[in-house]
Amino acid sequence: MVFEKIDRSSWKRNEYFEHYFADIPCTYSMTVKLDITQIKKKRMKLYPAMLYYLATIVNRHSEFRTAINQEGELGIYDEMIPSYTIFHEDTETFSDLWTEYMPNIEEFSRAYENDIQRYGSNHGMTGKPNVPENVFTVSMLPWSTFESFNLNLQKGYSYLIPIFTLGKYYEEDERILLPLAVQVHHAVCDGFHICRFVNELQELINS
């Protein structure tokens, strides 16, 4: 994992960062309906497939890898790793696991299954220890679909990494749709960037 510090004196986004981080702190969310018909036709496991697709697009664009590290420095990670929630029916609580990103979907899916088998029964918020700092979070709510979803973070104005929430899929007009909420910080991510993300994500799913 490499964290490249940003030189704000020459950073093309510095004016926008200063405005939306310091002057008018602003985060926002966008909820879309993804067409996951191809995933279901191929009988792929939905959660690991979506983790892989999300991580692939996150790692494609620097605005989704921009963060403030543990030393308080602004920079860009060379790679991001998905951290995701799993549900425990016996306690009705969840735990966070994480799986190293791999460019090959079959290899990533195997690593995901290994992590589920090894750490999936661990209770407590951190199911898999030694969480790396270059993670982005994904949650799934398979019990209900939704039209919109928003997180309210008390200290969210200093958190630059995107947050993804998936809902329950459903069928409409012979397509299978999955709600996805994306929460980002305006200091590093504009409407153009989040729309490009969603469009590329859908193209990747279709392929």
Whether residue 7 contacts residue 146, with contact meaning beta carbons closer than 8 Å, is answered with no
- Residue 112 is inside which H or E element, if any? helix 105-119
How far apart CA 14 and CA 33 sit, in angstroms, is 32
Spell out where the chain has E strands: 3-5, 27-35, 66-68, 74-77, 81-88, 93-98, 135-140, 163-166, 170-172, 175-185
**Angle formed by the axes of helices 46-58 and 105-119, nearest 10°:** 120
Is 88 noted as a catalytic residue in this protein?
Answer: no
Which letter does DSSP use for residue 124 in this model?
S
Among all chains, which residue has been given the structure tokens 């308080």? 72
Check 19, 88, 185, 186 and give the catalytic one.
Answer: 186
Catalytic residues: 186
